[in-house]
């Protein structure tokens, strides 16, 4: 017993020394980090199409016999070669058509110089016809071409803090995207602060302003401010049991006035302006203040409804703006969404004929922040481990 007691004291001292060293190192690193400029983030691009192709290839190699796999590879090479030849042939034909069109235009100009008697109306008609034919050719060519699909992930909290990354990702996409390209936002958010989600929704409107198709896909939840973002999309898709809607405004505030009064504690608040403060946590709230606060909530709700009605004019806004939420299949019936699917299904399908890229903005955190986070995570894991063991011991006794 004496040995165990001495060992316990030694262990306690050792743990104390280690913790002290960690605190000192953490403090030094933190102080050093304050003098350094914040490290800029960077855009990371993942080719989802290639990743999916690699997965498929790996699966086929495993499940097929050696002969079957070799045959498949041979057929694949033949198909690729044929596609490459067809594209080259099409490109050559397009060049000939363009050259022929150019020669015709030159000839027309010469003829127009010779035929001075041609009226201005005839010239205008001929030019319009050529322009229309040219547009038709370009349109057909565009339809045949595959387009790029850019995928963004938005995981929203109460403050919509992910908007900082979102704005960088959207800027990067807009800088290179063509009108035929598409942006898919995998959105997850239960909502939060009005002004924060208003900014997040405004970021999504930048995509539409750049004439890019915007598709919103919700796997779990897009409620309140989350739905405010979703409604900006040209198309909203959701999983069958995803939660959508909650088009309402809520505010909750505890009041400790009676507790302070009971303990004979005075609290003073001085304002300039009748409604600088409507209801507070520590002062005695008045009926006039409550009425004004309720009015402000209604005004915010009206703005919320107007924004959704503007982006989804076919939606019966009075029917759905009750603060209620619905699951995916119900939301489809109400017109809150346009289809039922998951983000995985949509992206896999898009990868069949198009190049799909995931765009994410990453910020490399300084060592001091990563170190403190690591220590915090270790403590949390240790606490959770003890808590779980305690619960399990109670359950299985």
For the question of residue 224 being annotated catalytic, the response is yes
| Per-residue pLDDT, 24 | 66
Neighbours of 200 (CB within 10 A): 25
pLDDT, mean of each 10-residue run, the chain (397 residues)? 62 70 66 54 93 90 88 85 80 74 61 53 51 46 67 94 95 95 97 94 96 97 96 97 94 87 86 85 88 92 95 94 95 97 96 94 71 61 58 50
| Given 34, 276, 314, 397, the catalytic residue | 276
Burial status of residue 52 (CB atoms within 10 A of its CB: 0-12, 13-18, 19 or more): middle
Q: Which of 49, 189, 224, 351 is catalytic?
A: 224
DSSP β-bridge partners for residue 355: 148
pLDDT of residue 87: 75
pLDDT at 282: 86
The span from the CA of 89 to the CA of 107, in Å, is 27
Instruction: Find residue 2's DSSP bridge partners.
Output: none
Residue 142: the pLDDT is 40
What pLDDT is recorded for position 385? 64
pLDDT at 230: 97
Q: What pTM did the predictor assign?
A: 0.69
Question: Are 48 and 356 contacting, i.e. CB atoms less than 8 angstroms apart?
Answer: yes
- pLDDT for 308 equals 96
Q: Which CATH architecture has domain 148-246+324-362?
A: Alpha-Beta Complex (3.90)
User: How far is residue 131's CA from residue 394's CA, in Å, rounded to a whole number?
Assistant: 81
- pLDDT at residue 94 in the model: 73
Per-residue pLDDT at 271: 84
Q: Among 24, 61, 10, 33, which residue's Cα sits nearest to residue 366?
A: 33
- Token pair for 367: 């060592």
Spatial CB neighbours of 280, under 8 Å, sequence gap ≥ 6: 253, 255, 269
């Amino acid at each position: 017993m004496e040995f165990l007691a001495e060992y316990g004291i030694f262990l306690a001292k050792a743990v104390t020394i280690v913790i002290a060293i960690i605190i000192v190192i953490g403090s030094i690193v933190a102080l050093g980090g304050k003098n350094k400029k914040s490290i800029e983030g960077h855009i990371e691009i993942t080719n989802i199409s290639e990743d999916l192709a690699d997965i498929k290839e790996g699966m086929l190699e495993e499940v097929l016999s050696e002969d079957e796999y070799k045959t498949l590879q041979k057929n694949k090479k033949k198909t690729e070669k044929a596609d490459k030849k067809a594209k080259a042939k099409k490109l050559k034909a397009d060049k000939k058509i363009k050259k022929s069109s150019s020669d015709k235009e030159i000839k027309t100009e010469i003829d127009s110089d010779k035929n001075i008697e041609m009226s201005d109306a005839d010239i205008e008609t001929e030019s319009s016809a050529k322009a229309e034919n040219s547009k038709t050719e370009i349109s057909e060519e565009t339809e045949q071409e595959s387009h790029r699909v850019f995928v963004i992930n938005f995981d929203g909290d109460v403050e919509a803090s992910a908007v900082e990354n979102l704005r960088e990702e959207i800027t990067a996409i807009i800088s290179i995207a063509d009108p035929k390209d598409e942006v898919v936002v995998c959105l997850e958010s239960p909502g939060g602060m009005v002004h924060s989600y208003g900014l997040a929704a405004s970021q999504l409107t930048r995509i539409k302003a750049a004439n890019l198709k915007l598709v919103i896909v919700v796997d779990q939840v897009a409620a309140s401010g989350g739905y405010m973002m979703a409604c900006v999309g040209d198309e909203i898709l959701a999983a069958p049991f995803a939660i959508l809607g909650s088009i309402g405004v809520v505010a909750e505030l505890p009041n400790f006035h009676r507790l302070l009064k009971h303990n004979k504690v005075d609290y003073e608040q001085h304002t300039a302006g009748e409604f600088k403060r409507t209801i507070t946590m520590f002062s005695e709230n008045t009926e006039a203040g409550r009425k004004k606060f309720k009015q402000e909530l209604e005004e915010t709700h009206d703005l919320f409804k107007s924004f959704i009605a503007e982006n989804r004019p076919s939606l019966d806004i009075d029917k759905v703006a009750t603060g209620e939420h619905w699951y995916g299949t119900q939301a489809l019936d109400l017109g809150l969404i346009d289809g039922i699917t998951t983000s995985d299904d949509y992206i896999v399908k898009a990868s069949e004929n198009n190049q799909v890229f995931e765009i994410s903005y990453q910020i490399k955190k300084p060592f001091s922040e990563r170190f403190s986070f690591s220590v915090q995570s270790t403590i949390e894991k240790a606490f959770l481990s003890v808590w779980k063991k305690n619960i399990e011991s109670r359950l299985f006794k």
